[in-house]
Chain A
Amino acid sequence: MADYLRVEGLRKAFGREAAVDGISFGVEKGKILTLLGPSGCGKTTTLRCIAGLEHPDAGTISLEGEAVTSVADGILTPPERRNIGMVFQSYAVWPHMTVAQNVAYPLEVRKWPRREIAGRVDEVLELVGLARFRDQYATRLSGGQQQRVALARAMIYNPRLLLFDEPLSNLDAKLREQLRAEIVRLQREVGITSIYVTHDQAEAMVISDQIIVMNRGRIEQQGDARTIYSRPANRFVAEFIGLANLLPGQVVAPAGPDGLLRAEVSLGGAQRAGVRALLAGGGAAVGQRVLISVRPEDVELGPPGAGAGEHNRLEGAVASAVYMGNYVDYQVQVGEARIRVQAKPTTLYRDGERVALSVRPEACVCIPGASEEG
């Protein structure tokens, strides 16, 4: 409970639909946490509840150990008294004010002395690289520049918490990459604890210390970028983050001390293959139905026949091969299953050619099968 920000049992429904369905998580001081998920997963609603813009139906939100929202106790601190900063998707830069006026506004409402406001505004504009646009009307600027104004405005008063609501989704790809690097730099430099909402997994990977994957108002998995990608906890995370081949199977031997269990995957009809796979979380009893998730880039291709009879080895025929420059995108037909493989273009296999597929056991992640999902 030493979390800087703590969200507990948060619930918010719009009509009958629960947008956020009782979620709990925390953020450590100075860290940046990303809420990642498809649209409608409740990530923005969660963020707006933290900001105080949305009134939750249940739950508590506490900042620095002090409750700012607690439905049970009737606490609902209005947004302006939470001392947080927020950057919106639409930039929300005020069109009737200049860049400097926009950025100075939070200090004015905090009743800073005029002289100090001017100095501080110059300093922050310098920091986001907008010093020369100081006296221009903010809406004359490009989207990327407007978002910098919004960023400067949100951090000028050193808020306790910085909230980002898909701040880059209205920008084009190149600008997005540039600005997201800048957000990371500023956040590290200033050290403000931040929560970042996005549906873009690449953005989440670059920016976050921690990622929470959300779906239908619930948390599917929380962890750092590497864990989320290489140890997906369930089918949703495996499919939402990157690409995954999901092979249905059954546990035949429990996990040993190395964390590897043995399973048998079915490739359609009576065709089966033994697989050693990593148990990502929870126990898997013998006989339990599971899915084995394999990333396309973890599959190695070789000539047929090599190392026959080993675990994690299959044979199939190339169904399609697309040359992508830095890799080749294959679809390999194995029994009735199609397995996607992204291999280095060192050896090229043609359509119809027979190949052997092999995967390291650590790259095969065992996740609960369809029947185990809620």
Chain B
Amino acid sequence: MSLLATEQETVVPSPGPRPPAPGPAAAARRLPAWVRAETLFMGGATLLMAVLVLLPVGMLLFTSIRIEEFGEASYFSLKNYTEFVVSPRILRSIGNTLLVSTGATLVAALFGISLAWIHARTNTPGRRLLEVFTLIPFFLSPYVGAIAWSYLAAPRVGMLNGVLRGLLGLPGDPLSVYNRWGIIWVLALFFTPVMYLFVIGSLRRMDPALEESARTSGSSLLRTTLRITLPLVTPSILSGAILVFVSCAGEFGVPLALGSPFKIETMTTQIYNLTGGSNIDYNASAALSMVLAALTLTFVFIHRKIILPRGYTTVTGKGYRPNVINLGRWRYAALAFNCLYLLMAVVLPLLALLLVSISVRWEGRFDTGALTLANYTYVFTYPLSARALWNSLKLAVAGATLCMALTMLVAYTIHRGRGRARGLVDLISSVPVGFPGIVLAMGILITYIRTPLYSTLWILLVGYITRYMPYGQRMISSVLLSLSAELDQSSRTAGASWATTLRRITLPLLKPGIVAGWLLLFVIFLREFPISALLYKGGLEVLSVAVWYFVEHETAVRTAAVAMVQVGLLLVAIFLFRRLAGTDELTV
């Protein structure tokens, strides 16, 4: 006890050498109280985030109300809205967007709700394994999915058409994906996991006692499911449906692959069409972008302000005790239903891509006698695709890293800062969620076209980070919310500076969120299409753009090979994500 001061001593003796205590007051007097490393870093990150988000949105609005006609001074008017947007061609594309998004949402809801219920509440065999596979489409590129489905169900050369003709003796082409139904089908398959994640999360968090008390009060199983379970998950179903609708309305690759070549345009493809070619008109494109953003923002607003506050808090601290329903013989029907979904969304598309990519040529039938790896050799040696692979990897690594660094500081500002504007920061940081990729890309194009960023990979990087910051931030925020602020504060009172606390306490504690967020962004950036499509220039191609180029200029077999390269990379990333992060983190 010799090291501890006794009451008689006036000075606390310290064992061993101890650096002289810095004169706190003297150090603090030199600068105003707010000039600190923490204030500068957090304030700087917040400001950067706000500029990144607000600048393109502001520029988009500004451009949409400006009229620039050749040889005339530009002026402001709502003409782009009152004349252009209401023209029959554009109205038709708006109608198409609403139609395919609604259709896809309904089909995805059917799949997603039933699969979630099967996995969380029934004794269907193999449901743990099925769960893993059901999430795969979440990580894959819908654009590549659309191309794969065109190998399966295109008129004439579609594999399934061939099978149906041969087996069932159906004449002509029973299936075609090159229409609105095809777009709905592919969108639904790829956005089912979003719906599924919302519903299964809600089912798992639900207190089993809610259902058990219905049973003990005399309600049958079916009645309990319909009267208790379903109403309790309804808010989550609505949330999921809104997110699916908004994602479908903003989806660019699927309508580009299945609709555009056959004059079926949606809002996203029209926005793109107006940025090049013969009818180039940035102002009109900006106006249409604003209309699409208004549509998606309305839904996001409804979700945040009306549905989220009505969600039932059924969370208990007890952890998950599933009460599994015995389906009897019907469990095999449930299994078959689940397998059918996996067949449509994962197995058939990937198999089709694989088979086409190793064929010498593609004419609708797989020829086991003519197999080759030459298509892959071509993809890796052809300058454009080799460059695209390299660019995608660079952008994914740099983008995920920078994005996580930025969002970590912003999330920290929102949840741990002391500023009054924290609510506003939170609002601004979630704005990109309401903007489809192509719309935000339009704003970014207008904003940075006259800066040195244009025609470099940097503009793609800025685009990726701006659009997907909210994803990284949700990951960090969910971890931050589960950690007491006192964990950081106790480090400060123990004598560690802000920087030391960040390095030794905050970052290690946030590691799960940082790793999960990084991997999710890595996956998203590897497959990113709409922003890249609008912002790339020759030399700046990325994987999705390379797939697109191959669709337009190369053979089907080579296109399948380049798509397979992207799919392969994504599958590796998914594997890592599952190993390191788990799936609870996916609902953004």
Contact = CB atoms under 8 A, between A and B. Distances in A.
A and B: interacting chains: yes
Interface of A: 30, 51-53, 55, 66-68, 73-86, 88-90, 92, 94-96, 105-106, 109-113, 116, 120, 123, 127, 150, 153-154, 157-158, 160, 163, 188-192
Contact of B24 (A82, A88, A188): A82
B4 A158 contact: yes
Contact of B33 (A67, A74, A191): A74
Given A158-B4, A189-B4, A76 B28 contact: yes
A88 B483 CA distance: 14
A204 to B, nearest CB: 22
Contact of B494 (A52, A89, A106, A120): A106
B486 A78 contact: no
A85 B495 CA distance: 8
Interface string B1-26: 10111110100101111110111110
B495 A190 contact: no
Contacts of B496: 80, 105-106, 109
Nearest to A150: B490
Contacts of B4: 127, 158, 189-191
B494 A68 contact: no
12 contacts: A52-B493, A53-B489, A77-B25, A81-B22, A82-B24, A83-B495, A84-B493, A88-B484, A88-B486, A92-B484, A92-B486, A191-B9
B578 interface: no
A158 B418 contact: no
Contacts of A120: 3, 15
Nearest to B490: A92
A96 B508 CA distance: 7
Interface in B497-519: 497-498, 500, 504-505, 508-509
A360 B27 CA distance: 58
A53 B5 contact: no
A116 B15 contact: yes
Contact of B36 (A78, A150, A190): A78
A160 B3 CA distance: 15
B508 to A, nearest CB: 5
A105 B487 CA distance: 13
A154 B494 contact: yes
B24 A109 contact: no
Contacts of A105: 491, 494, 496, 504
Contacts of B305: none
Contacts of B27: 77, 81
A141 to B, nearest CB: 16
Nearest to B496: A109
Contacts of B500: 109
B29 interface: yes
A30 B10 CA distance: 10
A110 B559 CA distance: 61
Contacts, number: 135
Given A75-B28, A80-B496, A94-B505, A88 B489 contact: yes
B14 to A, nearest CB: 6
Interface residues of B, number: 44
Nearest to A117: B16
Given A92-B484, A113-B16, A190 B5 contact: yes
Contact of B492 (A80, A95, A163): A80
A76 B1 CA distance: 35
Contacts of A88: 484, 486, 489-490
B32 interface: yes
B494 A153 contact: yes
Contacts of A150: 490
B484 A96 contact: no
B495 A109 contact: yes
Contacts of B22: 81
Contact of B493 (A53, A67, A74): A53
A248 B6 CA distance: 50
Given A84-B493, A105-B504, A189-B4, A75 B29 contact: yes
A85 B14 CA distance: 15
B491 to A, nearest CB: 7
A105 B493 CA distance: 11
B515 to A, nearest CB: 14
B489 A81 contact: no
Interface in B5-62: 5-7, 9, 12, 14-19, 21-25, 27-29, 32-33, 36
B23 to A, nearest CB: 8
B6 A191 contact: yes
Contacts of B25: 66-68, 75, 77
B28 A112 contact: no
Given A66-B24, A81-B495, A123-B3, 11 more contacts: A66-B25, A78-B36, A78-B498, A82-B24, A83-B495, A86-B494, A109-B500, A112-B17, A154-B493, A154-B494, A191-B5
B487 A74 contact: no
A55 B24 contact: no
Contacts of B504: 105
B24 A92 contact: no
A197 to B, nearest CB: 13
A81 B28 contact: yes
A55 B497 CA distance: 17
Contacts of A188: 7
Contacts of A109: 494-497, 500
A6 to B, nearest CB: 14
B498 to A, nearest CB: 8
A86 B493 contact: yes
A271 B491 CA distance: 63
A106 B504 CA distance: 12
Nearest to B9: A191
Nearest to A113: B16
Contacts of A30: 7
A153 B17 CA distance: 19
Given A30-B7, A105-B504, A110 B24 contact: no
B492 A78 contact: yes
Given A77-B25, A96-B509, A158-B4, A90 B491 contact: no
